[in-house]
Amino acid sequence: MTRPRVGVLAMQGAFREHIAALARLGADAVPLRDAAELDRLDGVVLPGGESTTMDKLLRKFGLQQPLAERIRGGLPVMATCAGVILLADEVRDGPPDQESLHLLQLKVRRNAYGRQPESFEADVDLSVLDAPFRGIFIRAPVIEEVGEGLDVLAEIEGAPVVVGDTQRLALTFHPELTGDDRIHRYFLEEMVVRATSQAGVAHVATEGGQDAETREAAG
């Protein structure tokens, strides 16, 4: 099987660490800076960083709408920290001109845990992992409301810190900074590879149906 190709938004933030984690797991991990690259991807990661800066750069380089269209069309996505803010439907405590992609029915509050000095670590019990994951929270957002169709996969003190569905995974912490690749593995195996396999089966089925129609017409 061809290695899954995953793009990591590489305009600002902790994209190098995501690329390294995905590469360790055998993925073809590449920096994403150009909309032309989107059609070649099997999945995408939106890293942590400064959400307002990433928002402005997405718009400046013409990547905002093409990225939103590909994710809306089924491209698997994993978002961490600031990446969750980019995906959210509503951003609270952001500057007036900040935009989001409106791709997750979430209401999030920026920097809700405080500034850099208030960063912390905590064990996160994810329902999809067999043991706790040590989460690193740096200027993390808080998910205040979760819409229909999304599962809460982990909480800390009653606040969701991991939510998702079969295509989208959103985490308010930084798994790429831990050296523990289990969350990236879950994203690759349960979302990216599965979506690629299903797309391949659908393509074969479509071709098979067309061949049958062709044979019937010829007969």
User: Based on C-alpha coordinates, what's the Rg of the chain?
Assistant: 18
Query: Which class for 153: exposed (0-12), middle (13-18), buried (19 or more C-beta within 10 A)?
Result: buried
- Please confirm, yes or no, whether 207 is among the known catalytic residues: no
**Token digits for 218?**
């010829």
Which one of 90, 174, 189, 216 is the catalytic residue?
174
Which one of 81, 144, 157, 216 is the catalytic residue?
81
Q: Which helix (H) or strand (E) holds 204?
A: helix 194-218
- Please confirm, yes or no, whether 81 is among the known catalytic residues: yes
Token pair 């991990």 in the structure block, residue: 29
Which one of 176, 189, 207, 216 is the catalytic residue?
176
- Please confirm, yes or no, whether 184 is among the known catalytic residues: no
Phi-psi domain of 145 (left: phi exceeds 0; alpha: psi -120 through 50; beta: other) = beta
Sheet holding 142-146, edge to edge: 88-92, 104-109, 142-146
Active-site amino acid positions: 81, 174, 176
